[in-house]
């Protein structure tokens, strides 16, 4: 069966919400640099837009993690594909995620980073699918709460496809 795409959140709505999220993050920030840690690859588009909506002192770092195979279901196994290049000890950290689904990836990252003694650690996610949660997580900034559907676009993929779509779309027929 061929894949079908249905727009769930338009680029225009995403832009407006990210501007608000930037203001929320600024209101909670100090003069010390905030380390925006993008979880590759899915959050690269969100990071690019969110970082420019934040007016306070920020630095950008990348981390690559995999918890999914080619498939759309979680393997439950989290693997660090690329670790941070810098120390986050005594730094303010903001984890920038594309989507929180089971919560397994985020819990793994929070545990890993807490061992490195940051000054503070917060989480921003563009999308949250709370119905799918297997492990509870505390998220500080949520762009949109969405139903239990598989979405692609704006950085999110299905088997590496569709990351370049400007809107967030529901993918069916998979």
- Closest to ligand IMP by CB, 56 or 108: 108
Q: Which strands, in side-by-side order, build the sheet including 58-68? A: 74-82, 58-68, 34-40, 92-100, 120-128, 141-145
Cβ proximity to Mg ion, 121 vs 127, nearer residue: 127
Q: Which residue in 9, 22, 38, 42 binds Mg ion (CB under 5 A)? A: 42
Of 5-13, 39-47, 134-142, 160-168: span binding Mg ion (CB under 5 A)? 39-47
Query: Angle 44-53/11-27 helices, nearest 10 degrees?
Result: 50
Six-digit token pair at 151?
A: 């979405």
- Least separation, in Å, of the C-beta of 78 and ligand IMP? 7
> Under DSSP, is residue 22 helix (H, G, I), strand (E, B) or coil?
helix
- Judged by CB under 6 A, does residue 38 bind ligand IMP? no
Dihedrals phi, psi of 12, to nearest 5 degrees: -65, -45
159: CB partners within 8 A, 6+ apart: 70, 71
One of 50, 92, 98, 168 touching Mg ion (CB under 5 A): 98
Per-residue mark of binding to ligand IMP, 137-166 (x: CB under 6 A):
-------------xxx---x----------
Token reading at 114: 């807490």
Stretch that binds Mg ion, among 1-9, 97-105, 107-115, 140-148 (CB under 5 A): 97-105
Q: If binding is defined by CB under 5 A, does position 101 make contact with Mg ion?
A: no
The answer to whether residues 171 and 162 touch, using CB atoms and an 8 Å cutoff, is yes
Is the separation of the CB atoms in 173 and 5 below 8 Å? no
Residue 147 Cβ vs Mg ion, minimum distance, rounded to whole Å: 19
Active site residues: 101
Least distance (Å) from ligand IMP to the CB of residue 75? 10
State the residues that interact with Mg ion by CB under 5 A: 39, 42, 98
């Amino acid at each position: 069966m061929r894949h079908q795409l249905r727009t769930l959140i338009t680029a225009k709505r995403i832009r407006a919400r990210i501007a608000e999220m930037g203001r929320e993050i600024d209101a909670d920030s100090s003069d010390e640099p905030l380390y925006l840690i993008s979880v590759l690859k899915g959050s690269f588009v969100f990071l690019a837009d969110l970082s420019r909506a934040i007016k306070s002192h920020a630095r950008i770092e990348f981390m690559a993690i995999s918890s999914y195979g080619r498939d759309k279901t979680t393997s439950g196994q989290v693997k660090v594909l690329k670790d941070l290049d810098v120390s986050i000890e005594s730094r303010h950290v903001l984890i920038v995620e594309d989507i929180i689904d089971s919560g397994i990836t985020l819990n793994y990252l929070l545990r890993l980073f807490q061992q490195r003694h940051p000054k503070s650690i917060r989480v921003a996610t563009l999308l949250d699918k709370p119905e799918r949660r297997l492990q509870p997580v505390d998220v500080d900034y949520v762009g949109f709460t969405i139903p239990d559907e598989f979405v692609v676009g704006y950085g999110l993929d299905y088997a590496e496809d569709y990351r370049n779509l400007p809107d967030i779309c529901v993918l069916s027929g998979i």
